[in-house]
Structure 1
């Protein structure tokens, strides 16, 4: 088994290296001139069955590849080209062309964009999309490109994040004494403080075992992720706190974008933006199906009477007292645009 594992990993690394050495350099002319066919590598961390893959990334590739515009989008799921942090570094270096990233990860490079992942910043996906398409959202995208060398093409809905635990979490006080797993990033750990949770950083791959062994008492994720990773097997309650409107940003290396012709840029932008509603529909359909299964089986107690107002007020008080500079200005703009 060790030899097989080593051989598999070696092949994977060699395969990724070959892609980065060939696919990403197959660019012909620049601007509106045309030239040889362009191959764009589109990386992500999702399994092939995830809604982002089924109804997002694959849809973009099929759309663009079906047009006679001299562009082929090649997709690489399951972190084949590296984990989130290393992929964005590769993208800004020009080794990867396109990627799907959460704003909390991108905030390590450009802090203001992390506001998009802050607890109760948005009231739901409609609010998220309206803000993203507003002049303030456009300014954020422009500033992000100027600072990072990467362009945000659009935002996709990831699902509302909820708590799971072995007890109901209806109000902030219910988090007392509970060790809740949050992703180990600055924005998520700030969310834990804002909500009054005792955050415990555990690698995503170790969450199931940590819940099973009691290393942590609970975790937070969208419904499809909770089901996909079988966290419902080791947690008795899922509390619909909706404390974060999960989103993912579709980014492309700016130099690569500028080398595309006007027709190619228009087609790629349209494909990414057209996938937004289909992607959301897939996410929400999966959520409804999973909640229905849990109700039918009685395997999980779904707590739907969470006092979201209490959580939201606590989070807003925390962030208005802790944020400053561009992050504070953007946070205020997001909240002002609600409802």
Structure 2
């Protein structure tokens, strides 16, 4: 009897131990999916790896992030939809990509809002208007954790682009964002909307004459191979908000929310420094690979896009004045070198 009871007790203890180990293992292997469209060698992937490492560290192994680069799961618009549906847990994309769900975010893509990285960081970290807009996103099914860097948008084209007159009759790929489309049309391009994953082949096949993106994206996705003229207009500052599915966020404990936010801040600092410090070497690499780097006179491009501001006011009203005021204040406080 005693021996049987002892066996039963030991067996129960072993079961509890195994069950406890199972729970611990399950918690350690809670996998969260991170989708983005950058290539594995790009800065987004590098920052995503930092984020994943820090989330695992700060949550003491309770969460593991599995990263899916190069649009493996979805292009940018679809990844944001999957955030809302819970199909993915994290994504990182240009601010304008989120404007489908909050149209006022289109205004962050107005041309020539800021002229330096420091100004751009201050805008995204400290603009009262932008903080207020980001606060509306959880109701849409996702929230911003931090802002990563992509840089300033410039052109790669199959023909030289020295001034807006060179754009006449040419086709420019754009992503689904009114402000970018208006800017391209004001410069003189015909616009063609398509996902970034289709752009390389579309340029190669002559469907479009070029695309516009930050240097880091141009380099990562190798657009300079098929559109060898790289024109540094820096016409739009285009950072990358890191977002989390609201359904996923609400499953985190308060401690894990703080841990994820801390990891996002670490990844943001890494991303910003990496992109800012890599631009010149990336341009040198493109030049060595046969690209032509063009530094045009910016004045004609600034003049060409003036109609974009009035067009924006006609649709977005007082929000235009608010973001322009925040941007002006920041430009004055942090003059570009």
CA deviation after TM superposition for structure 1 residue 240, in Å: 0.6
Q: Does 1:143 align with 2:144?
A: no
Change over 3 Å in CA distance of 1:260–1:235 after alignment to 2? closer
CA deviation after TM superposition for structure 1 residue 303, in Å: 1.0
CA deviation after TM superposition for structure 1 residue 202, in Å: 4.5
In the other structure, the counterpart of 1:225 is 217
Change over 3 Å in CA distance of 1:285–1:177 after alignment to 2? same
CA contact (8 A) 1:112 1:326 kept: no
Question: How big is each residue's C-alpha offset from its partner over 1:224-244, in whole Å with a ceiling of 9 and x where there is no partner?
Answer: 333343332333421111112
Q: How does 1:169-188 map to 2 (within 5 A)?
A: 169-188=161-180
In the other structure, the counterpart of 1:312 is 302
CA contact (8 A) 1:46 1:77 kept: no
In the other structure, the counterpart of 2:99 is 107
CA deviation after TM superposition for structure 1 residue 338, in Å: 4.1
3-state DSSP of counterpart to 1:66: helix
Q: Does 1:264 align with 2:246?
A: no
Question: How big is each residue's C-alpha offset from its partner over 1:244-275, in whole Å with a ceiling of 9 and x where there is no partner?
Answer: 21211111123432332232122211111122
CA deviation after TM superposition for structure 1 residue 48, in Å: 1.9
In the other structure, the counterpart of 2:279 is 287
TM-score, normalised relative to structure 1: 0.78
Change over 3 Å in CA distance of 1:89–1:326 after alignment to 2? farther
In the other structure, the counterpart of 2:48 is 57
CA contact (8 A) 1:162 1:221 kept: yes
In the other structure, the counterpart of 2:188 is 196
The separation in 1 between residues aligned to 2:194 and 2:73, in whole angstroms, is 23
Change over 3 Å in CA distance of 1:313–1:143 after alignment to 2? farther
Q: How does 1:317-336 map to 2 (within 5 A)?
A: 317-323=307-313, 324-325=316-317, 327-336=319-328
The separation in 1 between residues aligned to 2:162 and 2:215, in whole angstroms, is 17
CA contact (8 A) 1:69 1:264 kept: no
Change over 3 Å in CA distance of 1:183–1:259 after alignment to 2? closer
CA deviation after TM superposition for structure 1 residue 57, in Å: 0.9
In the other structure, the counterpart of 1:126 is 118
RMSD, aligned α-carbons: 2.7
In the other structure, the counterpart of 1:6 is none
The separation in 1 between residues aligned to 2:233 and 2:145, in whole angstroms, is 29
In the other structure, the counterpart of 2:145 is 153
In the other structure, the counterpart of 2:8 is none
Change over 3 Å in CA distance of 1:95–1:237 after alignment to 2? closer
